[in-house]
Chains A and B, each alone.
Chain A
């Protein structure tokens, strides 16, 4: 880094500081720490501020864990989503015990269950067979799956092994499939649709918002009216109507991308607003004028000079836009208009449990719903933390 660049950055660091902080900064100037502060790049400053935000940090760690599950569901879940356990239909979540019958501490284990049908209520009654304990072990062998569709393996993070009874921590559905494995596999669609949808919204939003904000005039007027229109119509009926038009014989991948596009049709408008607002403000800055005077082309001014000025804002808006896509997909799939079985997503799993009678008898079928709520909450917390961290005027 040349001396010139360093001074420039240091100066920028000073300008970015609110006036009230200036005294404090001058006092700290002698510290090595504050020297680091001067030379820190914008992203480093954001990261330092973000790190102090405990809730946001915790949420991002949990989110990373969620996405880890979504990336390698085969390894993280004990079974495959389509594995059926005969004689274990509609079974409640397995009880994990750490004390045996004599009251001595053991490593976590489960008992095998035997099932009888109650002749009066036609409900299955499960009783524990206490003769043998099956400990829960790590890296056990189980169903064979393909790791990232490449390497065949049968190792799973946890389970009871090949000879153990089914370990169903979230219970099973009426076909005897493990809800936990299905929830983990479902996160692939449910969590990725947020990202893919937002990327699409991002491209449309930045392009149209950019045109609108930088060029103004008639283009701005038209794009603004379209945004007003999109924000004024109720999203769900519109999504439902569009999803209705999808051919029923499409493959899972085709439906997936179609749903993404449907969700983005309304989703971009919010982002375009942010981009336009910021561009309108930054376009008037002296350095934009200077760039223009120096003969820079308009794309260069927009992408090289103006865009970096609000990238952090964009990222915040993107983070806060993801939950909308996740909720949209869940709602559509729940209604039977989004992803269709055999595809597994959280919405599909909730749609399976749509009947009030099912939920009354098997409340554990609603667990995927808790995953939706938690994922959306986490994104909101991270987004809020990022917003505070990206704001240079925040103390």
Chain B
């Protein structure tokens, strides 16, 4: 088991390296470097920057050197000091922005993932045990429509409907009257009410696919002989279902985290923008519109690394839960 974990972690290194390269390419993509843009902007707005100051800024970020040196500087900063660079748009270190926003992104994405399972697993089980029933058809149709609807449209329409019929604005983390209020129960309830909509919408985006995975796996399991044997021995139908096939059908769910997580993170970005959540999404949008490339690159780096780490955790869980994978991978 330990050997397997070590192997998986080592395999992670080249992927993380690739992610960092791509993020850095993103930073370098816009024509011109940001220090000279920054200096031009300052000069245009009437603030005259001293030549030495300009030279100092250029030297700090290594714009007088080839790009691989800049990459080295950026990476050394991240790896040794946890320093992601400077956001000229916010006028503060990228770290400060990440520290404020990353926790919300993680909380919302994680809750959305859990919620999507809470919805998808019962429906998947029902669809598999009652194939071609009404519920199965409705679930299939809904999953189709769901996949076809852009998340932002859904968030947008539901926010508007909630505003219209429940007289409650689900935008932001708290209603305006609680913004400066000290923490109390009323504020907490308000916060939870605001978090429900984004979590539900992001969570539902992965539900359709999860239902289908669960349904297909369970259908396969239910056809196997041990189920027939158990039935012949007189084990109650529900006990059969939940004791063996459902547990086995869970495992592929974990192996699909690898592609569910990118979808959830993408969904989190766009839906947070629509619902003005203070997460990485709106920060990324503002940064991209302003070509604040250190922030953009850092966010891409962090979100991608998060996804890859999530996949790693699911793989380790899978190896722990399913001995076949563990023994296959270590070659025992």
Contact = CB atoms under 8 A, between A and B. Distances in A.
Interface of A: 225-226, 228-229, 231-238, 240-245, 247, 323, 327, 330-331, 334-337, 350, 356, 359-360, 363, 366, 369, 372-374, 376-377, 380-381
Greatest chain B CB density within 10 A among A242, A245, A366 is at A245
- The 9 A-B pairs at the shortest CB distance, nearest first, are namely A244-B288, A245-B29, A236-B266, A376-B148, A234-B265, A233-B304, A234-B262, A377-B148, A241-B26
B218 interface: no
Contact of B270 (A238, A242, A331): A331
B281 to A, nearest CB: 8
B159 A356 contact: yes
Contacts of A244: 26, 30, 287-289, 291, 293, 296
Interface stretch (B12-20, B49-57, B224-232, B241-249): B12-20
Greatest chain B CB density within 10 A among A234, A327, A372 is at A234
A226 B22 CA distance: 12
A323 B149 CA distance: 10
B289 A366 contact: no
Nearest to A368: B153
B289 A337 contact: yes
A327 B156 contact: no
Contacts of B152: 331, 334, 350
Nearest to A384: B144
B209 interface: no
A196 B303 CA distance: 29
What's the dominant secondary structure at chain A's contact region?
A: helix
B288 A369 contact: no
B19 A229 contact: yes
B150 interface: yes
A154 to B, nearest CB: 35
26 contacts: A231-B262, A233-B262, A234-B269, A236-B270, A237-B265, A238-B300, A240-B269, A241-B284, A241-B288, A242-B26, A244-B287, A244-B291, A244-B296, A245-B26, A247-B31, A334-B150, A335-B270, A337-B288, A356-B156, A356-B160, A359-B156, A360-B160, A360-B164, A373-B150, A374-B148, A381-B144
Contacts of A226: 18
A307 to B, nearest CB: 27
A234 B159 contact: no
Contacts of B188: none
B153 A373 contact: yes
B196 interface: no
Nearest to A347: B150
Contacts of B269: 234, 236-237, 240
B13 to A, nearest CB: 12
A243 B147 contact: no
Contacts of B19: 229, 233
Contacts of B261: 234
A237 B19 CA distance: 13
B307 interface: yes
A330 B151 CA distance: 11
A356 B171 contact: yes
